[in-house]
Amino acid sequence: MPELPDVETFKQYLDHTALHHTIDKVSVEAPEMLGELSTRAFQRRLTGHTLERSRRHGKYLFAGLEDGDWLVFHFGMTGALKYLEGEEQAPRYTRILLSFKDGSRLAYVNTRKLGKVVMTDDVDEFLHQHDLGPDALQLDLEQFRSQARAHRGSVKTWLMNQEILAGIGNIYSDEILFQAHLHPEHKVESLSDQEIKTLYRKMHEVLDKTIAVHADPSAMPRRYLIPHRKKGEHCPVCKTPITQFKISGRSGYYCPQCQPS
Chain contacts with DNA (rule: CB under 7 A): 1-3, 6, 30, 32, 58-59, 74, 76-78, 93, 111-114, 130-131, 151-154, 157, 160, 162, 169-171, 244, 246-251
Identity of the residue, 83 or 93, whose beta carbon is nearer to DNA in the bound complex: 93
Three-class SS of residue 246?
strand
Alpha carbon distance 232, 103 (integer Å) = 47
Identity of the residue, 162 or 198, whose beta carbon is nearer to DNA in the bound complex: 162
Identity of the residue, 79 or 236, whose beta carbon is nearer to DNA in the bound complex: 79
CB of 222 to DNA, least distance (A): 21
Three-class SS of residue 167?
coil
Identity of the residue, 38 or 248, whose beta carbon is nearer to DNA in the bound complex: 248
CB of 100 to DNA, least distance (A): 26
CB of 157 to DNA, least distance (A): 5
Three-class SS of residue 6?
helix
User: How wide is the angle at C-alpha 260 spanned by C-alphas 242 and 137, nearest 5°?
Assistant: 80
CB of 213 to DNA, least distance (A): 14
Alpha carbon distance 191, 177 (integer Å) = 12
CB of 156 to DNA, least distance (A): 10
Written as one letter, the residue type at 134 is: P
Return the CA Rg of the chain. 20
Identity of the residue, 99 or 154, whose beta carbon is nearer to DNA in the bound complex: 154
Q: How far is CA 216 from CA 21, 60, 210, 211, 226, in A?
A: 27, 19, 7, 9, 10
Alpha carbon distance 95, 140 (integer Å) = 37
